[in-house]
Amino acid sequence: MRKSHDVPSYDAPVDEHARRAMASANPLSRRVLKREAKKARRAANKALGKRPGGMEVDDVGLGGTFMGASAA
């Protein structure tokens, strides 16, 4: 047998569990779109052979820094 569910009134606040379920099921929510964009970026970088990581480092030695000036 099926259980009958109580239908809430129109003005009743949405249950927290139901709200989270609706938010995760929305394919156009901001979170889902950002996650999909991140997956696409990662796939593109992997296809190009780029390593994961951030900044590139220029090796100019200590001459151009405050350490080079104080050592002289």
Q: What is the DSSP string of 2-67?
A: PPPPPPPPTTSPPPHHHHHHHHHH-TTSHHHHHHHHHHHHHHHHHHHTPPS---------STTSHH
Rounded Cα distance between 14 and 36, Å, is: 28
Which range marks the domain in which residue 31 is found?
17-50
pLDDT, tens digit (0-9, with 9 covering 90-100), for 29-38: 888 899 999 9
Does residue 1 lie in a domain region? no
The DSSP output letter for 70 is H
Which residue would you say has higher pLDDT here, 53 or 28? 28
Residue 40 is predicted with a pLDDT of 95
Place of tokens 């099921």: 25
Mean pLDDT of 7-35: 85
**How many domains are there within the chain?**
1
Res. 5 pLDDT band, cuts 50 70 90: confident
Residue 68 is predicted with a pLDDT of 62
- Asked if residue 41 has pLDDT above 90, the reply is yes
Does residue 34 lie in a domain region? yes
